[in-house]
Amino acid sequence: MQAKQLEEKLQARDIQPTAMRLLVLDYLVKRDAAVSLSDLENHLNRSDRTTMYRTLKTFQENGLVHQIHDDSGNTKYALCRDDCTCTYPDDMHVHFYCSRCEKTYCFPHLNIPEMDLPGSFEPKSVNFVVNGTCPACSS
């Protein structure tokens, strides 16, 4: 994705393009799996961890990425689809965590069904992670 397209993607979510935001978005766009803050740190080794974290939080608050909690013990982030609103239950989907390579994949076409919780419980998000082995690790 070119720099202009990255800027437009940020602006579409009301995010002011900055050098760090463009670097982080470029990294996310090129990944086939969710990434952790540590992944970002390793890739952008001269960047400040706090700035990277704030960038991810800004992306999340503006619906550009969503958070995934898997069995790795690290919070991971994945890009949302362009039409995603990050609302329950419309945009909640299944994730797959490979216990061998520790990659986490999004399956946005596999929606999590809406749950009828008792009483006045009001869900805001749902985290559904399937654990196993990905095709690359199975072969």
Using 50, 70 and 90 to split pLDDT, how confident is the model at 53?
A: very high
Higher pLDDT, 80 or 115: 80
Contact 53, 65 (CB under 8 A): no
- Residue range 49-53: average pLDDT? 94
In this prediction, residues 68-79 reach a mean pLDDT of: 92
Distance CA 78, CA 6 (A): 15
pLDDT at position 45 is: 85
Q: Is the pLDDT of residue 88 over 80?
A: no
- Cβ neighbours for 33, distance < 8 A, ≥ 6 positions apart: 78, 103, 104, 105
Q: Which CATH class is domain 3-138?
A: mainly alpha
d(CA 76, CA 68): 5
Higher pLDDT, 83 or 13: 13
pTM (2 decimals)?
A: 0.89
The confidence band for 68, taking pLDDT boundaries of 50, 70 and 90, is: very high
Quick one: tokens of 93? 């989907």
Buried b (16+ CB within 10 A) or exposed e, 120-129: eeeeeeeeee
Q: Tell me the mean pLDDT in the region 104-121.
A: 90
pLDDT on residue 51: 94
Residue 84 has pLDDT above 90, yes or no: no
